[in-house]
Chains A and B, each alone.
Chain A
Amino acid sequence: MTELTPDQTARRSPLYRRHQALNAQFEMVGDALLVSRYGNTSMEPRLAISLGLADLSTLPRTGFKGPEAPHWAASQAVQLPEQPNTAVTQADGSLVAKLSHQELLIVSDVEADSSLITRLNQQDLPAQTYSLPRADSHCWLAVTGLLAPEMFSKICGVDLRTHKFAQGQIAQTSVAKINTVIVRHDLGTTPCFYVFSDVASTEFLWDCLLDAMEEHQGVTIGVAAIRSLAAVE
């Protein structure tokens, strides 16, 4: 089998040079090229329970904004969170995050099985509903593990400890001085925080997170480790 490399696909993560430097092996997940694992270690799934960092930036995501956006999304069979700054997992595994009364962020499941994003992007939008594409504007990282809240406490002012920051809760805040949207979306029994931030700052944020993770022996993880965490019931 020929080895996959980021230059073989039209779309690649802003972090692909970092991944290559870490000897990443890649795989296709739907249309997205993702890191499968780094180096040759088989320890990633076990280390990710403690503290891991993954790049999911090539997976599909979108957004909609405007006074009528929530009503329109509901009419498209999207299950909406009741309160702003909360997120709800859909039946097909995708995640719908309500960032304000008028703004939705919709992200794929990690297997890219959901067709929700493609379907919504193809619709004609009614008045006062505006498309807010997020695939190219924001990076998408995932921080996994029991030590993630402690690591975040060094670079983020919001208390992300699991008894204070529930599953599905969202914090729009500053992480290492970068504006970010943090969504708690656990993988099986392991805490996981999705981090979305401006795409231009991706490499800086990645380096800051790795630096903050170092004292906790945090590791970079691929989608194989995420898959194995999600499989734990």
Chain B
Amino acid sequence: MKLLTCPLNGQRNISEFTYGGEYHPMPDPNSTDSRQWAEHVFFHDNAAGVVTEWWCHTASSFWFLAERNTITDQVIRTFEASEIFNQRIDFAENQQ
């Protein structure tokens, strides 16, 4: 059984986790065209090397981030999402 370390719950069997896709910084929604926004939402880089990914500890519904080398499948570190999302994002009202 592979093991993954949840920042909240500690080391657990990989069967307790769900993969949530690659993490990409969100582009500014006010200055992004539809193409760029679609790429952000739907497209993945699928890069060979170290990538940052969303993972969820299913038993506690706790979402966090992991840096993983996709060539060796080695997880370099896992960390709480609050490390990146440390301030509230307010979306401007749609003016159209």
Contact = CB atoms under 8 A, between A and B. Distances in A.
The reply to whether chain A is a binding partner of chain B is: yes
Interface of A: 84-85, 99-100, 157-158, 171-174, 179-181
A99 B60 contact: yes
A179 B58 contact: yes
A174 B16 CA distance: 7
Interface string B14-36: 01100000000000000000000
A172 B13 contact: no
A85 B60 CA distance: 10
A224 to B, nearest CB: 32
Q: Can you list the 3 inter-chain pairs with the closest CB atoms, starting with the nearest?
A: A172-B60, A179-B59, A157-B13
B12 interface: yes
A100 B59 contact: no
Given A99-B60, A100-B62, A172-B60, A157 B12 contact: yes
Contacts of A174: 13, 15-16, 58-59
B58 A171 contact: no
B74 interface: no
Contacts of B62: 100, 172
B96 interface: no
Contacts of A172: 9, 57, 59-60, 62
A157 B1 CA distance: 11
A78 B59 CA distance: 26
Interface in B41-96: 57-60, 62
Contacts of A157: 1, 12-13, 16
Contacts of A179: 58-60
Q: Which of B8, B57, B59 has the most chain A CB atoms inside 10 A of its CB? A: B59
A174 B9 CA distance: 12
Nearest to B62: A100
A171 B16 CA distance: 12
A223 B29 CA distance: 57
A85 B16 contact: no
A172 B16 CA distance: 10
Q: Which of B12, B16, B60, B62 has the most chain A CB atoms inside 10 A of its CB? A: B60
Contacts of B8: 84-85, 100
Contacts of B60: 99-100, 172, 179, 181
A99 B9 CA distance: 9
Given A157-B13, A157-B16, A172-B62, 19 more contacts: A84-B8, A85-B8, A85-B9, A99-B60, A100-B60, A100-B62, A157-B12, A158-B12, A172-B9, A172-B60, A173-B9, A173-B16, A173-B59, A174-B15, A174-B16, A174-B58, A174-B59, A181-B59, A181-B60
A65 to B, nearest CB: 11
A34 B1 CA distance: 40
A171 B15 contact: no
Contacts of A181: 59-60
Contacts of A158: 12
